[in-house]
Amino acid sequence: MKLRLPASSSTAGRRGRGRAGPQVRRRMALVMGIFVLVALGLVARAFDLQVVSKGFYQAQGDSRFLRVMQIPVSRGTIFDRNGEPLAVSTPVVSIWAIPSEVLAQSERIPELARALQLDPSELKQRLQDHADREFLYLRRQMQPEAAEAVLAMNIPGVNGQREYRRYYPSGEVTAHVLGYTNIDDHGQEGLELAYNDWLAGKAGAERVVRDRQGHVVEELEQVKEPQPGRDLTLSIDRRIQFLAFNELRATVDKTGADFASMVILDVATGEVLAMVNLPTYNPNAKLSSNPSERRNRAATDVFEPGSTMKAFTLAAALSSGKYTPTSPMIDTGNGHFMYLGHDIRDVETGGNGWLTPTGVITKSSNIGAAKIAISLDTMLMYNTYRAFNFGSSTDSGFPGEASGYLKNGATWGQREKAIFAYGYGENVTALQLANGYATIADQGVMHRPSFIKGVDNPGKAIVAPEVAHELVKMLETTTAPGGTATLARIANYSVAAKTGTAHKAQAGGYSKNSYEAVFAGIVPAEHPRLVGVVIVDNPVKGSYYGGVVSGPVFANVMAGALRLLDVPPDNIGRWYVGGPMQSPNGLVGSKPPDDAPAADAPVDDAP
């Protein structure tokens, strides 16, 4: 019997390895397959990143480091007619931050707050409230030196941005005409608003690379070319504006008036040389003002013109052919005229008796104006008022300009017509009234009031030249002895003017003790160059008459304006201060004392 011996170890090993060989190969193949799949996945992913989704991921990367930043531009400078700057843009720096970056260095927030003059706890709270944002203003429009000090602290996430801030060298003197801009340098009021598109320009844009802290590390290209704002030259004469402002302020202080306005127009062009209102505000610190102080009352507020309206009533009368400056005579009686149940009164004690149409202007007779109006065709009178732009805007382009109020002539009653004749029942602005008198001064030709120097401003004939010439002569008598505007005389210059003193309207009627002191004047009367209108609202100290309160303002401002504009005198041989005065028809008397009473006082129970 043969014994079966176990295989030797070497033989067994060879057999084991033989059996294991295919398994190893399978494992190796599996591993290699996995490696291949992973490699293919990586290649596919790389292909997706580099080719298929390249645009998306490039945009995502760019959004973190590539930025299109605005290139700020300077707003155009506003000049007065003589080239003096009235509004300029100065460079400033606004501090902004990436909130998450600053919060990561929270221990430096108190230091940052002190540099920005902010409360540390409030600053931290703002940063936390906007932690998900990449841009947050910390403080706007800092002086460059102060901003540089903040940036020099090198706080991560804190950056600066160049901007411009508006500065007004004349401050409160030109505030109502110019208006102001907001913190983003956009016009909000006045001519800054009216001409915002012209002044603002268009900001540019550039593509830049920023680091993770928001700092610009490279400027790549200009995307949009910046277009700086264009300059604007106004018709305003800063020198005359200062004269008007100072005189109005002195008058308001003296009389305790609620407010006052003055408008001065160039007769030949319609250009606004000055427009002043009180109270006023400083546009460089506008946050300390209130809305009532920021209103340009000369263009936006209306009032009843009182006796200054008589010039336009006489314009209708002369145009009708029924009246001349000297005929017919009008019986104003003893100062009382009962008409359709209404007592129309003149202030003159004992009445004015018989007056020529010129005398109605000289004495400012309410009765005379009413009787003239009664005799006129209603639509002629209405159309004359409308032709002088009463009841509609002057189209000056000033934002918020009021149109006033004039009742449709087709609905006028006879008593209303009589009352309208001496300035009650209609509303006008100071600018409208000045434009009306400038039309009379320019031989009956009306120009649209303009705030821009040298614009093409053709005129429109409103009344015949001979009518306008006669009206100027009639208005000139008010500065003669016995007239209502003797305190508006200007040495060596003839002055044509009309005064007005109107009760202020209030709920339920008219105030007994509150007045508008109004004055409208033309100078020089012989060759008109300037027209001025002065409104003083509710003077409570001293006189309240237009001739006494507003007339001297006109005289003082115009005397200076005539010298500044080098307008030659036209009245040297006719009168001088303190001496005899001659009218065009000869010697008529001496200058009355400065405290002589005016004859333009309102009736007690207006209208």
pLDDT band for position 317 (cuts 50, 70, 90): very high
What b-and-e string marks burial along 410-447, b requiring 16 or more CB atoms within 10 Å of the CB? eebeebbbbbbbbbbbbbbbbbbbbbbbbbbbbbbbbb
Cα-Cα-Cα-Cα dihedral sign, residues 115, 120, 122, 125: positive
Dihedral-angle region of residue 587 (phi above 0 means left; psi in -120 to 50 means alpha; beta otherwise): beta
pLDDT of residue 579: 37
**Least confidently predicted of 126-130, 267-271, 552-556:** 126-130
CA dist 45 and 49 (Å) reads: 6
E strand map for 378-508: 445-446, 460-461, 496-506
pLDDT of residue 593: 40
Mean of per-residue pLDDT scores for the chain = 87
pLDDT of residue 33: 82
Record the tokens describing residue 152, joined without a space.
């020099």
Question: Over the stretch 76-108, which tens digit does the pLDDT of each residue have?
Answer: 999 999 999 999 999 999 999 989 989 988 899
Which residues are known to be catalytic?
307
What b-and-e string marks burial along 470-498, b requiring 16 or more CB atoms within 10 Å of the CB? bbbbbbbbbbbeebbbbbbbbebbbbbbb
Cα end-to-end span (Å), the chain: 159
Question: Over the stretch 294-306, which tens digit does the pLDDT of each residue have?
Answer: 999 999 999 999 9
Cα-Cα-Cα-Cα dihedral sign, residues 402, 403, 406, 408: negative
Q: Which residues contact 440 (CB under 8 A, 6 or more apart)?
A: 311, 315, 463, 468, 471, 472, 475, 522
pLDDT band for position 261 (cuts 50, 70, 90): very high
pLDDT of residue 86: 98
The reported pTM is: 0.82
pLDDT band for position 589 (cuts 50, 70, 90): very low
Does the pLDDT value for residue 189 go beyond 90? yes
| Percent of the chain with pLDDT strictly greater than 90 | 68
pLDDT band for position 347 (cuts 50, 70, 90): confident
Does the pLDDT value for residue 360 go beyond 60? yes
pLDDT of residue 217: 61
Question: Over the stretch 3-29, which tens digit does the pLDDT of each residue have?
Answer: 454 555 455 445 545 455 678 888 888
The DSSP output letter for 123 is H
pLDDT of residue 483: 92
The answer to whether the beta carbons of residues 350 and 319 sit under 8 Å apart is no
Burial of residue 454 (number of CB atoms within 10 Å: 0-12, 13-18, 19+): exposed
pLDDT of residue 58: 61
Does the pLDDT value for residue 31 go beyond 50? yes
pLDDT band for position 215 (cuts 50, 70, 90): low
Does the pLDDT value for residue 545 go beyond 70? yes
Record the tokens describing residue 589, joined without a space.
């008397």
Residue whose token pair is 């997706």: 48
Question: Which residues are bridge partners to 303 per DSSP?
Answer: 428
The answer to whether the beta carbons of residues 339 and 415 sit under 8 Å apart is yes
In whole angstroms, how far apart are CA 494 and each of 43, 276, 400, 565, 583?
Answer: 99, 24, 35, 16, 9
Q: Coil, helix or strand for 581?
A: strand
Q: What is the DSSP string of 358-377?
A: HHHHHTT-HHHHHHHHHHS-
CA dist 164 and 140 (Å) reads: 10
Question: Over the stretch 483-509, which tens digit does the pLDDT of each residue have?
Answer: 999 999 999 999 999 999 999 988 878
Does the pLDDT value for residue 580 go beyond 50? no
CA dist 46 and 35 (Å) reads: 16
Does the pLDDT value for residue 190 go beyond 50? yes
Question: Over the stretch 443-469, which tens digit does the pLDDT of each residue have?
Answer: 999 999 999 999 999 999 999 999 999
Does the pLDDT value for residue 65 go beyond 60? yes
**Least confidently predicted of 29-43, 140-154, 208-222:** 208-222
Record the tokens describing residue 6, joined without a space.
């176990």
**Least confidently predicted of 71-75, 129-133, 230-234, 426-430:** 71-75
pLDDT of residue 466: 97
Residue whose token pair is 């009841």: 391
Compute the half-sphere exposure of residue 75: CA atoms within 13 Å on the CB side of its CA: 31
Does the pLDDT value for residue 544 go beyond 70? yes
Averaged pLDDT for residues 299-316: 97
Does the pLDDT value for residue 213 go beyond 90? no
